[in-house]
Amino acid sequence: MQTFTAQTSIAAGRSVVWCALLALVRDTWDVTDDDVVASDAPARLVHGIVLDGETSCWLTWELAPDGAATTVRLVHDELVEGPAPDLDGVLEMLRATVPAHLPGVREG
């Protein structure tokens, strides 16, 4: 098994980042409750990614408060050896999703 990690800080509260995270995994990887291995809102989410009919990798999201910001640590565990995933890009996708979940922001 290969393990890769990345971490970032997002200037929003943990509950806002959690809502954005749930939207991201639902919309990007079509994650449903069946794909969730563990969930401890708003601190930790583990979900499997199904490729070719089988779960071959797991993403673990850990959210920790850091003042007015949230530190997000992303761990990618994969059964199949291959190139490193672009976890920094995934964290940037999360960062881009956050503004729609800030209080007072309406989708439109």
Domain of residue 59, residue span:
2-101
32 domain-assigned? yes
Helix, strand, or coil here: 41? coil
pLDDT at 108 over 50: no
49 domain-assigned? yes
Residue 24, Cα to own-chain centre: how many angstroms? 7
Alpha carbon distance 42, 64 (integer Å): 9
Distant-in-sequence, close-in-space partners of 24: CB < 8 Å, separation ≥ 6: 93, 94, 97
pLDDT at 103: 81
**Tell me, what CATH number does 60's domain have?**
3.30.530.20
Q: What is the pTM of this model?
A: 0.89
| Mean confidence (pLDDT) of the chain | 91
DSSP 79: S
Instruction: Kindly report, residue by residue over 25-77, the tens digit of the pLDDT.
Output: 999 988 888 899 999 999 999 999 887 788 889 999 999 999 999 999 999 99
Distant-in-sequence, close-in-space partners of 105: CB < 8 Å, separation ≥ 6: 99
Instruction: Kindly report, residue by residue over 2-24, the tens digit of the pLDDT.
Output: 999 999 999 999 999 999 999 99
Domain count, the chain: 1
